[in-house]
Amino acid sequence: MAQIILQPGREKSLLRRHPWIFSRAIKQVEGTPNSGDTVDVISAKGQWLAKAAYSPKSQIRARVWSFENREIDLEFFIEKLTQAKQIRQGLIQDKSDAYRLIAGESDSLPGLTIDIFANVIVGQFLSAGVERWKKLIVQALQTVFPDMPIYERSDVDVRKKEGLKPVKGWLSGESDFKIWIKENNLKILVDIDKGHKTGFYLDQRENRQKAAKYVKNKSVLNCFSYTGTFGLYALQNQATSVTNVDVSQNALDTAELNYKENGFSTGYTNVNADVFKLLREYKQDGTQFDTIILDPPKFVENQRQLVSACRGYKDINMLALQILKPGGTLLTFSCSGLVEADLFQKVVADAALDAGVQAQIVEKLTQAQDHPISLNYPEAFYLKGLVVKKI
């Protein structure tokens, strides 16, 4: 088997079980591994450290499969999938049938995302290793989840960093692309073919529930609403009105179906608009809300974009605080991993200063329990949320 020999001192992160090996940490590669092949990782002093997947095109030159000297084979993948399934069964209650089964490195399957939507599996193969072993991973999924169709949504730009092309399609069986899932007894339509990511934002499940205590008898503005699920929870919990705002008319059309399916025909408005522009219009005409939810898409993909991303977060939070009624609640989120929690809090604090308002944090939020954060892989922590009261 091919080997990666590390530079002196570069074994420290692996001894702490961090799963990434960057190109600059490698002294030499012995053998001729192809993209995704399994390699042994060896320290400069000759100590065996890990089994990893080799990725010659990526700055992350290898991702660790295991810190045990074992074969990476069908049995390995079945074991990891079974372990993840058992963990999630303790987290997901009977009132929900959609969850994240595999969260990449946190589940020891680097670069792999697997979501379960009712009786359909949707996967993203984002690294050279899981691409190399795709057929075996599909076979393992078929073993752990017999008779469930498997759809691939690897149509994302991040694959280019691994030298891979975007791709999507059925890997096993077939099903309708549009699937009704159950989340806390609400019915939600998921489009696994054209929806964002794998089709739906499962990472906000618990936060949608937690938001419920801030909406009773309140007017709610749901920004970057996608298919309207924060607003759906708000109506279920007796909000007086819900305004969903999104730039995608297709997403809003799905929101309309969601609301009708759950028995709501009034009390909500779906607005197809740019959130930044609309909030400025609301400010100009004096429109205010009791509760505002900001759940924007990722603003930053790399370190070079961090300053402009923080400016965007500050602007949107400033505008929201300006149109929030006194005593009102802002639930604001960042899903950008490069925007760390302390930085995000500082940005929101700066937004309050610029808005000329006093505010206080009453609750901090994070990603759902089926999106675990490995203690050895802090990069898995990406979703930050603050519940802010305007004084």
Residues carrying an active site annotation: 335
DSSP 235: H
Work out the number of other CB atoms within 10 angstroms of the CB of residue 384.
23
Work out the number of other CB atoms within 10 angstroms of the CB of residue 184.
15
- Cα separation, 274 vs 182, in Å, equals 29
- Both tokens of residue 78? 């079945």
Work out the number of other CB atoms within 10 angstroms of the CB of residue 101.
24
CA angle 284, 288, 291 (to 5 degrees): 140
Residues whose CB is less than 8 angstroms from the CB of residue 299 and which lie 6 or more positions away in sequence, other chains included = 305, 308, 309, 312, 313, 334, 336, 339
- Both tokens of residue 99? 């969850």
Work out the number of other CB atoms within 10 angstroms of the CB of residue 43.
19
Phi, psi (rounded to 5 degrees) for 64:
-75, 130
Complete edge-to-edge strand list for the sheet that includes strand 48-54: 20-22, 60-66, 48-54, 38-42, 3-6, 26-30
In sequence order, what DSSP letters do the residues of 86-122 get, joined into one string?
Answer: HHHHTTS-TT--EEEEEEGGGGT-TTEEEEEETTEEE
Q: Is residue 255 within 8 Å of residue 230, measured between CB atoms? A: no
Of 227, 231, 204, the C-alpha closest to 385 is 204
Burial group, residue 282, by CB count within 10 angstroms (0-12, 13-18, 19+):
buried
Burial group, residue 104, by CB count within 10 angstroms (0-12, 13-18, 19+):
buried
- Cα separation, 18 vs 41, in Å, equals 13
Instruction: Give the rounded distance of the alpha carbon of 104 from its chain centre.
Output: 11
